[in-house]
Amino acid sequence: MKQLFLNLNLWRSSGSSQNATHFAQRSKMMEYDQALVWVTLILMVFGMVMVYSASISLPDSPKYANYKNNHFLVRQAMFVTVSILASFIVFRLRVEDWQRLAPYLFIATLVLLVLVLVPGIGKGVNGAKRWISLKVFNVQPSEMMKLFMVLYAADYTVRKQEFMHKLTKGFLPMMITVAVLGLLLLLEPDLGAFGVIVCIAMGILFLGGINGVWFGGIAAALVGIFTSVILLSPWRRERIFAYLNPFEEDNALGKAYQLTHSLIAFGRGELFGVGLGASVEKLHYLPEAHTDFLLAVIGEELGFVGVAVVIYLFYWIVKRAFEIGRQAIVLDATFAGLTAKGIGIWIGIQTFINMGVNLGLLPTKGLTLPLMSYGGSGVLINCIGLTLLLRIDYENRLMMRGGRI
């Protein structure tokens, strides 16, 4: 009998030890959001594959005659690698460090937007000056501003929380800041980036508890401003009219050329696509197929199913960002919560505009598909933004366990 109790105690001790090990492993596995990491990596790697497919024939044209077939693949792979390495560094920064740096990062990027307009410093591509050349790669300050506007607007809302219902102390200063920023972006010109940044600022202020009357009034004013910008600009006005009737002969060969070929690409793809690498539209028919119109190539080669998968993955990221933000606010981390939701607004709005343009739901505008389209600044900043989201979730989990940050 004594031996039986001894064996029973040994079994219980062994079971307790195994349970402790199990819970320790489980706790370790749940320190960060693995699903968010995998979805982000899948989108970047899939984007790299599609950039290669969309750009492989570009060296056949005179514009890219000096490029190799894998030129854009190699550079995109380099951008993705640098972005992942940067993410390891960014993840180690605490959210409170980002809050402290938010105003300085915003001002520094504002200075870069001014430098873009200085002759000899700003680099122009296709008639727009949006880049600063660093020899190895080009920096696009407007992409940086999307992330830093999230941080700045979240920090501003936290600092001015008691004045959010007042026009002069709460709403007006932010609107003046956005107006100055908009002027710089329209001088590049980059109406698409301005639209995304306005949505970020307005969305965070709304979530932060801005007065509903002022919010509605300024929203109506912004609609009026955007309408005026379009109507007073002949080439923007022509693009809108072309978008409304893209297959009219003059439009199809002019302002709506990209849109018509994008729609043809989706039409050819049907349900399952013509096969990876088999796109016809990327053979010098669809301009910027590896950047702004990457989704059209996905639609042609992988069909409705491929596009639906991409849409779902972006939907999941946006939904997850709002869940993380809501959890942070419950834990009384208001800045972290607004930042997480701001990242969700940023990724969601930019994705919606890019997909809307590709599908003919919106007028043609130069905005890339986050994480996937070719471009160093875009991929890097998108990756940093999602790493910050991962850090917010990490700190949420740490606080829920009673740990210290």
DSSP, residue by residue, 53-117: HHHTTGGGSGGGTTS-TTHHHHHHHHHHHHHHHHHHHHHTS-HHHHHHHHHHHHHHHHHHHHHHT
d(CA 237, CA 241): 6
Q: Say what the pLDDT of residue 20 is.
A: 42
Q: Say what the pLDDT of residue 30 is.
A: 61
Give SS3 for 213. helix
Q: Which residues pair with 97 in a beta bridge?
A: none
pLDDT in tens, the chain (405 residues): 445 444 535 444 444 444 444 444 444 446 788 999 999 999 999 999 999 999 999 988 888 888 888 999 999 999 999 999 999 999 999 999 999 999 999 999 999 999 888 887 877 666 677 888 777 778 889 899 999 999 999 999 998 887 777 777 777 788 888 888 888 888 887 888 888 998 999 899 888 877 667 677 777 777 777 777 677 777 677 777 777 778 877 777 777 888 899 999 999 999 999 999 899 999 988 888 999 999 999 999 999 999 999 999 999 999 999 999 999 999 999 999 999 999 999 999 999 999 999 998 888 877 899 999 998 889 999 999 999 999 999 999 998 887 777
Question: Residue 117 in contact with residue 187, Cβ under 8 Å?
Answer: yes
* Alpha-carbon distances of 254 from 89, 105, 109, 282, 365, rounded to whole Å: 46, 40, 35, 18, 15
Alpha helices in 191-293, H assignment, sequence order = 191-207, 212-231, 234-244, 249-252, 257-269
* Block residue for tokens 């009737």: 245
* Alpha-carbon distances of 279 from 170, 276, 284, 301, 302, rounded to whole Å: 52, 8, 11, 6, 9
* Block residue for tokens 């190895």: 136
Q: Is 177 exposed, middle or buried (0-12, 13-18, 19+ CB in 10 A)?
A: middle
* Alpha-carbon distances of 253 from 61, 89, 236, rounded to whole Å: 19, 48, 16
* Cα three-residue angle 379-97-209, rounded to 5 degrees: 85
φ, ψ for residue 179, nearest 5 deg = -65, -45
